[in-house]
Amino acid sequence: MIYFDNAATTKAFPEVVRIMEEAMQVIYGNPSAKHIKGMEAENLIKEAQDVIAKSLKAKPGEIFFTSGGTESNNTAIIGTAMKNHRRGKHIITSRIEHASVYEPMRFLEEQGFEVTYLDVDKKGYLRLDELEEAIRPDTTLVSLMFVNNEIGTVQPVKEAGEIIKKKNPETVFHVDAIQAYGKMPITPKNMKIDLLSMSGHKIHGPKGVGFLYVREGTKIQPLIYGGGQQKGMRSGTENVPGIAGLGCACRLMIGEQYENADKIRKIKEYFQERIQEIDDIIDNSGEAPHIASISFKGLRSEVLLHALEEREIYVSSGSACSSNKKQPVSGTLNAIGLPDEYKDGTLRFSFSLENTKEEVDETIEALKELVPMLRRFVRR
Amino acid sequence: MKVTAFLIKYGEIAIKGKNRFMFEDALMRQIRFAMKPVGDFDVRKESGRMFVEGRGDFDYDEAVEALQKVFGIVGICPMVVEETKDIDHLRKTVLAFIDEQYPVKDFTFKVHARRGDKQFPMTSMELNMDIGEKLLDAFEGLKVDVHHPDVMVNIEVRKYIYIYSQEIKGPGGMPAGTNGRAMLLLSGGIDSPVAGYMIAKRGVRIDATYFHAPPYTSERAKQKVVDLAKIVAQYAGPIDLHVVNFTDIQLAIYEKCPHDELTIIMRRYMMKIAEHFAKEREDLALITGESIGQVASQTIHNLAITNEVCELPVFRPCIGMDKQEIVDIAEKIGTFETSIQPFEDCCTIFVAKHPVTKGNLKRIQKSEEHLKDVIDDLMKEAIDTTEVIHVK
């Protein structure tokens, strides 16, 4: 079995599983309880906060736990828009965002907010001059993704942060770092980031947990109300096992961040080199260490995906998150202006520490057989 | 007064002459099968009536829902059973039953007693008057209306006394297994599960054949068909689902035959394969979800061409129905939500932009000549590699 779908989700580290089991079987107190069982659970949360804060050169109090990337993005976007709606109703984002950014934007448009969608160039990068032009006195939020989930472009986040704060210091800067965290250094303060979203299962942690970094002094309206946990920012008994697992995954990923990223990058580069042996392809990959995006001329990505699946090689078409929708071609793939005969045939290969060069070899051999065979039977 | 039993009314099967016992036994068998997950029930016949009586506690709604899926049942009457044949006792029971069943006491009623046990001290007429009077005394809002009552209070004095007042509609039809077996061509669409349901309703046991075409169709598409078979099986009983790998046949047709005839030719081979399994299992007919004119391959011309390859009769219960009528049934039986999940099935992959709508049998047969070197092997391969999933 070859798992090249690590941008969709990853296998949990064994240490993560162990600590989660402990959090359910041994340290199972409610962190809000006044007795020692509660305190033990609270300490697990604090440990996770510490690890994560350190990885971002941030303060523990700036880390809020959520149910994952989607909730983090929703909280950041809707929470900021609601909190600042008297000051302004203008928001900026890009055309290549994930659905968990795009859909909250659509919701806000229905509520009377104005959203500017920035275009990207043919390689999938933001144009900073367009960003600068778009910022207005009533712009309350700019939301940009760090690493694109479909093609792996790394956006110039630091430069964007500079421009935003220079033009309008009041504008809140949110960064969706779900594909970036653990793959490259992120320092929100340095990058002028106010809000940053992250998800646990992309870095060998558990599903159903993530965090939102909220820079001290940034005010957002909570989405979820109740018992006032996490300073009222996100009510509900904390997902202690998830948080403990998340903290553990962060510690393991960040500890050797640069080496890890390098190891993954080597696999990806080897893949990019060998994929050139296949005719009529376009390599859309950006510089993220773990994501390769390849468009195959005249093929339907789903068919090639299932053909690889028969050989136990698992990849994504476009991105798994948007695959459920009826729109066959993704926003990002449209935005980078792929020729029509390539658009339908894009696969995403995404790598992790567990992958090897041998797996790449095997995959390339499979593609060499399958691609010409499937190209014989395209829709006439 | 909790409902402890159900009186089962069955219309059609009661008139089947000498076969009546066979039908009744089949119905009892199906009821026992359907009630097994609900609890412990005694199912029995008693002078032309069928009773389903709980031996212990059971969930009322679950029980009714299970009975509503048993073909052959026309009506389900929730009732209480009174074992003591004492008039005072009976009066109390009826009052408690009415009190429980109708929280708002504002309706007209009629008592309809039937004395089967002539040992019982009151005649039917006397019982009607006595119980009616007690009800009027007990509940102020009640009035008697012997012609068009809102509520008919039935009291049947037999081995025990049975009291019931309402009838819940059953699905009708005939009990499963009373009319042989047939092979359903099941796709992931809306129509074929409905067709299977409709034929099963006539007492026919169902086998099924599904054609999948990896890598052009996904595991999820296959799972969807298994899920649909499971829903149909709730009514029809267990289904043996034959999953045929159709890719190579489809590709051969695609390569060698005119593109605009692809769908018709494909369907002819599907019929042949389904018929092969049907004969193997001694099924007496094929079932499809076809409806005249719904798509290009279902014009009356093309249906005739598809039909031409079959020796067994092909039942098409949706043939005269509009899409909406089929959808209505799919929603009623619970297959619709599953059917509309968006996975490609093998019919949609290679569809021509302008498929033939008035196929010509001679021309189609001529096109099929192009396949003659390969098709026998491909058919054999497809049949030999077919996976059979027992769905229940």
Name the residue of chain A whose CA is nearest to B260's CA: A380
Name the residue of chain A whose CA is nearest to B252's CA: A377
pLDDT in tens, A37-76: 999 999 999 999 999 999 999 999 999 999 999 999 999 9
Contact B122, B114 (CB under 8 A): no
Residue B8 pLDDT more than 60?
yes
pLDDT in tens, B211-269: 999 988 889 999 999 999 999 999 998 999 999 999 999 999 998 999 889 999 999 99
Poorest-confidence range of A71-85, A182-196, B307-321, B332-346? B332-346
Please report the pLDDT score of residue A379 as a whole number: 60
Contact A261, A184 (CB under 8 A): yes
Please report the pLDDT score of residue B138 as a whole number: 94
Confidence of residue B16 (pLDDT cuts 50, 70, 90): low
Query: Tokens representing B131?
Result: 């119980």
Poorest-confidence range of A248-252, A305-309, B81-85? B81-85
Contact A4, A350 (CB under 8 A): yes
pLDDT in tens, A69-91: 999 999 999 999 999 999 999 99
DSSP state of A98: -
Computed over every residue of chain B, the mean pLDDT equals 91
Contact (CB<8Å) A377/B255: yes
B251 touches chain A (CB under 8 A): yes
Please report the pLDDT score of residue A327 as a whole number: 42
Residue A306 to chain B, least CA–CA distance (Å): 5
Contact (CB<8Å) A302/B214: no
- A379: chain B residues, CB-CB within 8 Å: 349-350
- B215: chain A residues, CB-CB within 8 Å: 303-310, 374
Average the pLDDT over B363-382 and give the result: 94
Residue A322 pLDDT more than 60?
no
Residue B113 pLDDT more than 50?
yes
Q: For the beta carbon of residue A229, count every other beta carbon within 10 angstroms.
A: 19
Alpha-carbon distance A73 to A104, whole Å? 8
DSSP characters over A153-207 = PBP-HHHHHHHHHHH-TTSEEEEE-TTTBTTB---TTTTT-SEEEEEGGGGTS-T
Please confirm whether the linkage preceding B149 is cis (ω < 30° from 0): no
Average the pLDDT over B151-171 and give the result: 93
Alpha-carbon distance A53 to B163, whole Å? 72
Query: Tokens representing A96?
Result: 């290549």
pTM: 0.84
Name the residue of chain A whose CA is nearest to B344's CA: A302
For strands B151-157 and B161-164, give the pairing: antiparallel
Instruction: Please give the share of chain B, as a percent, with pLDDT higher than 90.
Output: 75
Please report the pLDDT score of residue A260 as a whole number: 84
Average the pLDDT over B178-183 and give the result: 93
Please report the pLDDT score of residue A321 as a whole number: 40
B121 touches chain A (CB under 8 A): no
Please report the pLDDT score of residue B19 as a whole number: 77
Residue A311 pLDDT more than 50?
yes
Domains of chain A: 2-9+257-376 (3.90.1150.10), 14-254 (3.40.640.10)
Name the residue of chain B whose CA is nearest to A304's CA: B215
Query: Tokens representing B139?
Result: 């509940």
Average the pLDDT over A296-314 and give the result: 93
CA terminus-to-terminus distance, chain B: 35
Just list the catalytic residues of A.
321
Burial B229-256 (b: 16+ CB within 10 A, else e): bebbbbbbbebbbbbbbbbbbbbbbbeb
Contact (CB<8Å) A306/B342: no
Computed over every residue of chain A, the mean pLDDT equals 93
Average the pLDDT over B196-214 and give the result: 95
The contacts of residue B356 (CB under 8 Å, 6+ apart) are B260, B261, B264, B296, B302
DSSP state of A131: H
Report the alpha-carbon angle B51-B124-B106, nearest 5: 80
pLDDT in tens, B33-58: 999 999 999 999 887 789 999 998 99
Where is B50: in which H helix or E strand?
strand B49-54
Of the candidates B215, B342, B350, the beta carbon closest to that of A307 is on: B215
Contact (CB<8Å) B215/A380: no
Confidence of residue B349 (pLDDT cuts 50, 70, 90): low
Q: Which residues of B are annotated as a binding site for ATP?
A: 185-186, 210-211, 267, 289, 298
A202: left (phi over 0), alpha (psi -120 to 50) or beta: alpha
Alpha-carbon distance B21 to B9, whole Å? 15
Confidence of residue A328 (pLDDT cuts 50, 70, 90): very low
Residues in chain A whose beta carbon is closer than 8 A to a beta carbon of chain B? 302-310, 326, 374, 376-377, 379-380
By three-state DSSP, how is residue A140 classified? strand
- A307: chain B residues, CB-CB within 8 Å: 214-215
Query: Tokens representing B320?
Result: 């005269």
Residue B170 pLDDT more than 70?
yes
Contact A203, A253 (CB under 8 A): yes
Please report the pLDDT score of residue A334 as a whole number: 79
Of the candidates B219, B251, B350, the beta carbon closest to that of A379 is on: B350
Contact B382, B234 (CB under 8 A): no
Confidence of residue A330 (pLDDT cuts 50, 70, 90): low
Burial A231-252 (b: 16+ CB within 10 A, else e): eebbeeebbbbbbbbbbbbbbb
Please report the pLDDT score of residue A324 as a whole number: 43
- A305: chain B residues, CB-CB within 8 Å: 215
Residue A323 pLDDT more than 90?
no
Contact A189, A62 (CB under 8 A): no
Confidence of residue A336 (pLDDT cuts 50, 70, 90): confident
Of the candidates B215, B251, B352, the beta carbon closest to that of A306 is on: B215
Contact (CB<8Å) B215/A303: yes
Confidence of residue A338 (pLDDT cuts 50, 70, 90): confident
Confidence of residue A288 (pLDDT cuts 50, 70, 90): very high
Q: Which residues of B are annotated as a binding site?
A: 185-186, 210-211, 267, 289, 298
Instruction: Please give the share of chain B, as a percent, with pLDDT higher than 70.
Output: 97
Confidence of residue A172 (pLDDT cuts 50, 70, 90): very high
